[in-house]
Structures are given as C-alpha cells and as structure tokens.
Amino acid sequence: MKEYIEERAIELANYIIEKKATVRSAAKKFGISKSTVHKDVTERLSKIKPDLAEKVRVILEENKAERHIRGGEATKAKYQGNRIKVG
C-alpha cells in the first residue's frame, strides 16, 4: 500500500476519534469521498494499526446508532425554517 494512503488513513482515524466525527464530516474536512473515508478507516486501517481501527469502529457504530436522531433534528429544523448544519 502506498505510504500516503496509510498516512491519510491514520490521520482520518485520529480526526474521527478526536472529534467523534461522522464519515460525512471527515470526508468534507479532508476533501475526499465518503467511500474513501470508509474504506480507509475500516479496511486499510485494520491492516496498518488494528488498535486504532477498533477505536474508530466504536465511534462509527455510535454514529450509526444515532443517525436517525440527527436526521430527525435536521428535518424538524428544515420545516421550522431554522436550517442547521448536522454532522
């Protein structure tokens, strides 16, 4: 695997852990696709640093469990005319 991809995967993982960020917000911050973020932190990272990959997995599971709440808040705000930025 190319070195810059490994570095990006580690940097993404650290960002997600530090900010408890979603895949979408990490992708936006780093200027890459959600698919790339997901592949980096699930597949590639587990080969590079399994311990870091596990920490990210926990946060991604939390985000997945909470996404229906964030979506509901965004929809509610939309129809109240108070658009908020979610994630």
pLDDT tens readout for residues 50-85 = 999 999 999 999 998 887 777 777 788 888 876 666
> Residue 1 and residue 56: Cα distance in Å, rounded?
20
Q: What is the pTM of this model?
A: 0.79
Handedness of CA 50, 54, 60, 65 (dihedral sign): positive
* Residue whose C-alpha is closest to residue 25's, from 75, 49, 59: 59
**Mean pLDDT across 22-38:** 96
pLDDT of residue 52: 97
Q: Where are the domains of the chain?
A: 3-80
pLDDT of residue 84: 61
pLDDT of residue 5: 95
> Residue 85 and residue 70: Cα distance in Å, rounded?
10
Query: Which ranges constitute the DSSP H helices of 2-49?
Result: 3-19, 23-30, 34-39, 45-48
